[in-house]
Structure 1
Amino acid sequence: MGYPSAGTNATPKELGYTMPGEFEKHAGCWMGWPYDGNLWRENAKPAQAQYAAIAKAISEFEPLTMFAHPGECVAKDDPVTGKRIVAGVHWDYDCYGGLLKRKLGLPTMMPSWDKDYAAGRALLEMNGLEVFEAPIHLEGGSIHSDGEGTLMCTEECLLHPSRNPHLGKEGIEKVLKDYLGLEKIIWFWRGIMGDDGVVNGHVDNFCCFVRPGVVLLAWTDDKDDPQYEVSMNAYERLSNTTDAKGRKLEIIKLPRPPPLFRTFNEANGLAEGYVEKGYVPRIAGERLPSTYINHYCANGGVVVPQFGGVAAEADKKALEIIQEAYGPDYKVVGVSSREVVLNAGNIHCITQQHPAAW
């Protein structure tokens, strides 16, 4: 397999590149401002308010760059302000690429997202980084690295026929190991309940590394909840494996909030005809993929989703567990993000860390 854009036939792994852990030091964080009424209700105004709050929280710990559609930039200057924020970059985009240590960028590609490739390249060029084009469809939320050669993902997502049916499991493992400098991949059966209809069980909703050898796992003790079987299966897999360094994993259970469901109002208010345009229909009563795993680890801080209402007690408990997991060197803060989870993601999904590895 060649890597022509990097000017060599050697794999990134052979060249010494590796994917850092998200808990490692960052140069900053990237976010993209919501604006599409086909995706966000009420012309994205409720979502924009929560994005602004999330951006402000992250900016207390590290520099943050907000990418915005050109037509939205004026609106950004006011709500998205705060310590060390750069707002309103003029760039029409769909998403951004992931980064590896030692100047390696990976354009993350998703079927039918025509601007994805250009977006990844633009970010890399802005930072003067080398480009290795990965022959795989992969979203950043579908993988999680410990920075020391171990990666977690779900079979539900990476083996889904909408992504890379031509590769198969062995082919996917080879690409991931070659491009991300990996030695071992831990595969889970499925991800969080409620996450199956849009992104097919992203691991960033389900399990994450706090540091090498320590993971947080979404949990429920309710045996009548379908999540119980999925989380128990993952717990057993984690308990019976080691990481790339041969360490047994410490597993910290992080309870999900009580089941949350999309309300009638939350299922409406999108652009007229959005379903006919090919967007996923919003259905009142469907379970939301609410979880606290989907947080952002910044330099000395962790920004955690909060759902409020019936989840208020679970919100508080999650902050306590995450604080204990990350330890006294981190400040854990909660930010309301229900509007974000309405679009099948949360804080981790709408952020991209910029590693400070170069």
Structure 2
Amino acid sequence: MRFTPPHGPPITFRARLHDARTATVIGRLLGLALLVCFATGVFSHYLQHPPPWLADRLPSRPSWGYRLTQGLHVVCGTAAIPLLLAKLWAVYPRLFAWPPVRSVRHALERLSVAVLVAAGIFELFTGLLNTFQWYPWPFSFVPAHYAVAWILLGAVLLHVAVQWPTIREHFTRRSPGTAALPEADGPDRRQLLAAVAAGVGAVTLTTVGQSVTALGPLDLFAPRSPAHGPQGLPVNRTADAARVTAASLADWRLTVAGPRPYSLTAAELRALPQYEVTLPIACVEGWSKSARWTGVRVRDLLERAGAGPGAGCRVVSLEAVGAYRVMEMGRRYAQDPLTLLALRIDGEVLSLDHGYPARIIAPNRPGVLQTKWVGRLEVM
């Protein structure tokens, strides 16, 4: 490939691996990773911010569902970073092709590539920084990440449509002339792909332990280790950050609003029938861990307040500020027997950072919706 600048000698890209076949092979894997990221990301978004028509239809089972989907989201997003870098390395000489636009099809191709690269870099690297809870930008991460995901999907579809003849050719392995390239032009394609696979495997194995308990010993570079934290469970938002203190909870009572409203002290809540469930906390940053939770079924508390069998629930936290201070549960979550107002974790009274005196634990829910420091339940 040759690029002749307006002034000066032509620049020649001779490396044999800057070709369509290499780009296609890497592109298949990158496309699969992005597809999984998109599907699991949309699922996570609608679990956290369900529109009214969907709120009562979201499933509460399997109880480990969100742990699986969000783990896949973060794992595939992390694996996509070396794949994206390898893909850009394989195709970057084409960015210097001259003339820059040769036809309508070529213009669409370059447009799709520009949007695809920009959106891909934005999604993967802002997502990576989100796992560290580091936000060095002036906009809100969640809506921006969600909106650009749709832009990225559109760019991928346009790119595949424009490049389909080339993709089809290389899927059927009928690319002409590649076998005649001399060995001196660069490392063998298999060696490059093996190096890319090793890079993907390395970043995956050294970070996936935050989601897969069995691989915890390999969790060298993940931002969070599920084994570390008060009472053996990590904490994203501390009581100090939420401005909740032990002194402010001295006269705590749980208020349950409904057709027959009532309130309970901590001692009265502990005197009610207690249930124990094993459920994971699964956070949007990718880490997750299961624990034994003991407490009162939310549906029993709602029923005592006069709620019908199809009632949902609004949960209000005592924290002073926070985007998720008020949380709503659709009826499938509120009526699920696994959904508890938890008082204990692994047999111990909740610590203040884990939501003392009471918190929500529900199946198949993001960690941000497992509300801590609960002060009020409202029948919906």
TM-score bracket relative to the smaller structure: under 0.3
TM-score (norm 2): 0.20
Choose between structure 1 and 2: higher strand proportion: 1
Choose between structure 1 and 2: higher helix proportion: 2
TM-score (norm 1): 0.21
Greater radius of gyration (CA): 2
